[in-house]
Structure 1
Amino acid sequence: MPDKRSTVLLTQCAGMFLVQLDVTVVNVALPSIGAGFHAGVPVLQWIVDGYTVVLAALLLSGGALGDAIGHRRVVLAGLGIFGLASAGCALAPDGATLIAARVAQGAGAALLLPGTLALITRTFPGRREQARALGVWAGVSALALATGPLLGGLLVTAAGWRSLFWINVPLTALAAAGTLLVPADPPATGRVDVKGTLTGATALAALVYAVIQSSVPAAVLGVAATVAFLAVERTSPAPMLPLALLRSRTFAAANVVAGAMNFAGLGTILLATLYLQGVHRASPLTAALAMLPGFLPLSLLAPVTGRLTARFGPRPVMIAGLLTGATGLLGLLRVTEHSTVAGSFLPAFALFGVGLGLLTAAVVAAAVGGVPAGRAGTASGVNNTARQACGALGIATFGAIAGSPARPAAFVHGLHTAGVLGAGMWLAAAVLTAVAIGRP
């Protein structure tokens, strides 16, 4: 593999690593941020969701913009915005400013993420070399999610929570330098679905706000914007969400399962962080180490899941992941204010992580396999959007259910309720998978 192409692969993986890392790395710092800003749980939820909501809302538009004006330009713009926004996060004097900077980070990430995949496929046009390169890209993606809490714990313990954002600045500069090695963009004729972007972003932001703030007007706005989004996508000449793809039962079901996976998954990760640091008073590093058994399967099982999915199809792997993860979520019922972390929390969280590790790659394979080969890129983008959007809603919902860890008894009761809700969703998703996901 030529050095130049290796550098391109490395830098695009680095850009994607930063995007995925910032989904989870902040979680372990939330108690420290809350203490520093005297902020409650709703502010902490928005520090996570400000990033996730905008990433989900603009992800498909980022890919369409790359098609329209060139992916290299869009990746470079995304890296610039992400780097500047990271510096803004590090310098934020209060919670509101930090949320605004996280929103800007999400916009940069939405430009960056689809383009990294497009540039890798352009750099490695051969079928076999492209498969190897995409395997590296997928492995780094899983590693980023697993690394986030541990890296966050180390940095917060050693240098404070602001270091989580400062580290992004030089890394985005290096990734931009590597992106310049990619040949100039070819002429492009794609179009951007502006109306779809605006209505979709409004719908998601309003629904998340309604859950976090218990706002009925925001809920009404969210439902109305959702209806408007579907109407726009039905008539748009270049829709973000081609509704015709939903006629595929496998594709539609795979995205419902992906949404349920992230709804319960990211919501549970938020509550696990608050439980360990808020109820058990663990340090950020100790909390990160306690969560490691739940995150390691995401990276360790990725190659195994890929081989199992290739051999047996996504359906049995998805069902195994959903049932294992649901068992772990129900295991949270054994967690109490005074129970030991090793005796109650760790076994449940580890099973939950194994379920996620089995499920993640298989869900993507099911979504991509449920559409014609020429629509694989669109299918992947829709699947990513479903995961990020439902993850944002899950964070909002689970945070609202549990409340503040400053009231340990009420928080643990909320943790139990969230665990049952998540398990119910994953069991229902397992039934949907058995019925709707096609055989290989």
Structure 2
Amino acid sequence: MAEISRLRQSVVVALCGGYFLVLLDVTVVNVALPSIGHALSAQGAGLASIVDAYTVPLAALLLPAGAIGDRVGHRRVVLVGLIGFGAASVLCALASGLSVLILGRFVQGMAAAVMLPGTLAMLTESAVDDRQRTRLVGVWAAVGGAAVPAGPVIGGFLVQEWGWVSVFWVNVPVIAATGVVIARSKPAAPQGNYNPVGDDRVDWAGAVVLAVAIAAATVAVLRLRSSPTDAVIALSVAVAASVGFVSIERRTHTTLLRVERSARRQLIAACLVAGLMNACVLGTLFVLTQLLQSVHHLSPLATGLVLLPALLPLPLLGTVSARMTARFGTWPTSAIGITMSAIGFVVIASTTDSLDRPVVTAGFVVWGIGLGILTPAIVTAAIEATPTTPGAASGASNTARQIGAALGVATFAVATGSSGAPGFVQRVSWALVTAAAAFAIAAATVTARRIWSNRGRAGAAHPAMTPTMLNALVYDLLASR
């Protein structure tokens, strides 16, 4: 970055550092959940609410957040997001009850959604040409990718040494330093044909109704066992909001998703697989952190180290997945990744009661390799569906993954129940086997149908990855981690 001014270098470092912290916060909190549950007397659905309170606003606001930044300036939006995230972290750290912690996590999710699109936009605005832009995106991607495997280990260390509140307090000085650097920077001049206002109006009605639909569906799952009546009411609200969202998107000229009719089938298919992936993966991580600490009595740090083989392949296999996609096509490559992940689920399920370290490590490695192959391939499938509007495809894919994450954590929490209840280990095993079955069905469907696209055939030509498509791909790969 020698050709970038010293101030610009500090902005790049600040943006990457803040982005790393936001992504780190997801997996850090997962490792801290057993300690949080013990301190705040929360189990099962209560712990799932801590995770989903972050995921629901993130899913609902990612799509309009980019348009907001385009209208008012990404630097201003990133600063608002940083302030909100820092304040919410303080609220979480000071929480003396579950309700306050859930509120803090909700504000964190809103702030993260507002901030994340702007971090990438500010980086690309800092570049003087496409070559430098690609380099900056590469740095940003590497930093974000490192947060995935680092999260459980850093989180485990923090929780073990200073308690669960430390995973929130650690955000504050980093956010403060990042905010100071960005506040001192000057807004970048528009590059090329970039228009900060244009037609990028925000579909607030669609965003609000989408948030209601996601939140109500999540509540319906969480309340299914404890209060069926509340679950039915929440489900009715979710259905009504979903119908309202479709109606709003059909009538408005500022839709959250602008996708051509001819591309919808492949994009829907990619989003369904992406949503299923996050539902099973994050749901599994949610119950495994409780299994390892509450049942097998591992320390938080030991738990992070056990989970490391599952997460380490994710940032390392991007190039391998890209080569496989170029050779075999997006959907066959996705099928390979799904199948490997399904095998990993089964192996892990076989060790839940005994925790045979070599076997469970092998299961995590196979699972992680499958996810490392699947994630770039399925994101590429979404972007290939609409190569002229990669931002819309990226937004759709990432939103689907966040919705899947929220529903997956809620479903796994309800299916397995409290970690202290009899039969918890067996229910975790069955949940993992069910996830493996869902992945196997998805793999079979992908293989049999070749998923509605001629681009999925081996040897088929793939569109060139332009800088715009690269930005969308990297953002979609990393924003939800």
| Common topology (TM > 0.5) | yes
- Unaligned runs of 5+ residues in structure 1 are none
Match of 2:187 in 1: 183
Match of 1:254 in 2: 270
Cα distance, 1:9–1:250 mapped onto 2, change above 3 Å: farther
Any idea what SS the aligned residue of 2:117 has? helix
**Shift, 1:343, TM fit:** 4.2
Distance in 2, Cα, partners of 1:352 & 1:162: 31
**Shift, 1:5, TM fit:** 3.5
How do 1:58-97 residues align onto structure 2 when only pairs under 5 Å count?
58-97=61-100
Are the equivalent residues in 2 in contact too, given 1:246–1:252 (CA < 8 A)? no
Match of 2:290 in 1: 274
**Shift, 1:242, TM fit:** 2.7
Q: Which deviates more, 42-51 or 169-178? A: 169-178
Distance in 1, Cα, partners of 2:341 & 2:97: 37
TM-score, reference length from structure 2: 0.86
Match of 2:174 in 1: 171
Q: Which deviates more, 352-361 or 241-250? A: 241-250
Distance in 2, Cα, partners of 1:143 & 1:433: 30
Distance in 2, Cα, partners of 1:136 & 1:307: 21
- Is 1:304 the equivalent of 2:341? no
Cα distance, 1:241–1:273 mapped onto 2, change above 3 Å: same
Match of 1:369 in 2: 384
Distance in 1, Cα, partners of 2:84 & 2:261: 32
How do 1:212-227 residues align onto structure 2 when only pairs under 5 Å count?
212-214=222-224, 215-227=231-243
Q: Which deviates more, 17-26 or 145-154? A: 17-26
Question: What is the RMSD of the two structures over their aligned residues, measured on CA atoms?
Answer: 1.9
Distance in 2, Cα, partners of 1:422 & 1:227: 28
Q: Which deviates more, 59-68 or 92-101? A: 59-68
How do 1:128-139 residues align onto structure 2 when only pairs under 5 Å count?
128-139=131-142
TM-score, reference length from structure 1: 0.94
Cα distance, 1:135–1:334 mapped onto 2, change above 3 Å: same
- Is 1:347 the equivalent of 2:362? yes
Are the equivalent residues in 2 in contact too, given 1:71–1:185 (CA < 8 A)? no
Distance in 1, Cα, partners of 2:269 & 2:122: 29
Match of 2:208 in 1: 198
Match of 1:229 in 2: 245
Cα distance, 1:259–1:240 mapped onto 2, change above 3 Å: same
Match of 2:342 among 313, 322, 326: 326
Cα distance, 1:245–1:147 mapped onto 2, change above 3 Å: farther
**Shift, 1:414, TM fit:** 1.6
1:102-147 per-position Cα deviation (integer Å, ceiling 9, x unaligned): 0000010010011111112222252232222222222322221221
1:21-67 per-position Cα deviation (integer Å, ceiling 9, x unaligned): 22211011111111111112111111111001111111112112112
**Shift, 1:348, TM fit:** 1.9
- Unaligned runs of 5+ residues in structure 2 are 191-195, 225-230, 457-461, 463-481
Are the equivalent residues in 2 in contact too, given 1:73–1:185 (CA < 8 A)? no
Are the equivalent residues in 2 in contact too, given 1:331–1:348 (CA < 8 A)? yes
Give the length in aligned residue pairs. 437
Are the equivalent residues in 1 in contact too, given 2:352–2:425 (CA < 8 A)? yes
Distance in 1, Cα, partners of 2:361 & 2:100: 35
Any idea what SS the aligned residue of 1:237 has? coil
Match of 2:158 among 155, 159, 164: 155
- Is 1:398 the equivalent of 2:412? yes
Are the equivalent residues in 2 in contact too, given 1:152–1:164 (CA < 8 A)? yes
Distance in 2, Cα, partners of 1:289 & 1:119: 34
Q: Which deviates more, 78-87 or 141-150? A: 141-150
Give the residue type in structure 2 aligned to 1:194. Answer: W
Cα distance, 1:271–1:300 mapped onto 2, change above 3 Å: same
Q: Which deviates more, 425-434 or 324-333? A: 425-434
Are the equivalent residues in 2 in contact too, given 1:59–1:111 (CA < 8 A)? yes
- Is 1:18 the equivalent of 2:25? no
Give the residue type in structure 1 aligned to 2:414. Answer: A
Cα distance, 1:135–1:250 mapped onto 2, change above 3 Å: farther
Match of 2:59 in 1: 56
Give the residue type in structure 1 aligned to 2:217. Answer: L
Cα distance, 1:135–1:431 mapped onto 2, change above 3 Å: farther
Cα distance, 1:370–1:239 mapped onto 2, change above 3 Å: same
Distance in 2, Cα, partners of 1:308 & 1:137: 24
Are the equivalent residues in 2 in contact too, given 1:368–1:379 (CA < 8 A)? yes
Are the equivalent residues in 2 in contact too, given 1:8–1:182 (CA < 8 A)? no
Give the residue type in structure 1 aligned to 2:367. Answer: F
Distance in 2, Cα, partners of 1:121 & 1:103: 29
Distance in 2, Cα, partners of 1:185 & 1:21: 31
**Shift, 1:97, TM fit:** 0.4
How do 1:402-421 residues align onto structure 2 when only pairs under 5 Å count?
402-408=416-422, 410-421=423-434
Match of 2:478 in 1: none
Distance in 1, Cα, partners of 2:216 & 2:84: 24
**Shift, 1:184, TM fit:** 5.0
Match of 2:467 in 1: none
**Shift, 1:249, TM fit:** 3.3
Any idea what SS the aligned residue of 1:242 has? coil
Any idea what SS the aligned residue of 1:26 has? helix
Higher helix proportion, which one? 1
Distance in 1, Cα, partners of 2:342 & 2:387: 32
Question: Percent identity of the aligned residues?
Answer: 45
**Shift, 1:227, TM fit:** 1.2
Q: Which deviates more, 200-209 or 181-190? A: 181-190
Give the residue type in structure 2 aligned to 1:405. Answer: S
Match of 2:113 in 1: 110
1:315-351 per-position Cα deviation (integer Å, ceiling 9, x unaligned): 33322211110111122331243x1340443222222
- Is 1:422 the equivalent of 2:435? yes
Give the residue type in structure 2 aligned to 1:97. Answer: V
Give the residue type in structure 2 aligned to 1:212. Answer: L
1:148-205 per-position Cα deviation (integer Å, ceiling 9, x unaligned): 1111100001111111011111111222233342525765242111110111000000
Distance in 1, Cα, partners of 2:57 & 2:187: 29
Distance in 1, Cα, partners of 2:295 & 2:189: 52
**Shift, 1:385, TM fit:** 1.0
Cα distance, 1:5–1:368 mapped onto 2, change above 3 Å: farther
Cα distance, 1:71–1:432 mapped onto 2, change above 3 Å: farther
Q: Which deviates more, 325-334 or 190-199? A: 325-334
Distance in 2, Cα, partners of 1:200 & 1:41: 25
